[in-house]
Amino acid sequence: MLYRGSCHCGRIRFEVEGEVDSGLACNCSICSRKGSLLWFVAREKLRLLTPEDAASTYLFNKHVIRHRFCPTCGIHPYGEGPGPGGAQMAAINLRTLEDFDLAGVPVKHFDGKSL
């Protein structure tokens, strides 16, 4: 399935291909503050519809995950980085998908705070 998403103001827009089977709620210091609900896909499944430099990047801790956000409205639509096996992944914030019903998505909780 093809989904479209964006930040609040539309400066960052994207499409992502796949089937949403669950969302991940992480309690690490950044995820708990952002309140994002994450869906992980291979990076090549994410296609930006706006220039990559429209998004700002925040790095912290080990500087491995690129937390991408809109410098205008502040919304965090996705992140990028290597997955556990080394393949490039995208973490899509399900809350930024257009016309998407979160009610039917099972949520898995991840204890990132303890890592």
Instruction: Please give the angle made by the CA atoms of 13, 18 and 28, to the nearest 5 degrees.
Output: 70
Check: CB of residue 24 under 8 Å from CB of residue 108: yes
Residue with structure tokens 């952002």?
34
**What is the radius of gyration, based on Cα positions, of the chain?**
13
Give the pLDDT of residue 115.
80
Domains and CATH numbers, the chain: 2-114 (2.170.150.70)
**pLDDT tens digits, the chain, 115 residues: what are they?**
999 999 999 999 999 999 999 999 999 999 999 999 999 999 999 999 999 999 999 998 889 999 999 999 999 999 999 998 999 999 999 999 999 999 999 999 999 888 8
Give the pLDDT of residue 61.
85
Q: What is the pTM of this model?
A: 0.94
Q: Which amino acid is at 94?
A: L
Tokens linked to 58: 């925040």
Instruction: Please give the angle made by the CA atoms of 64, 27 and 35, to the nearest 5 degrees.
Output: 90
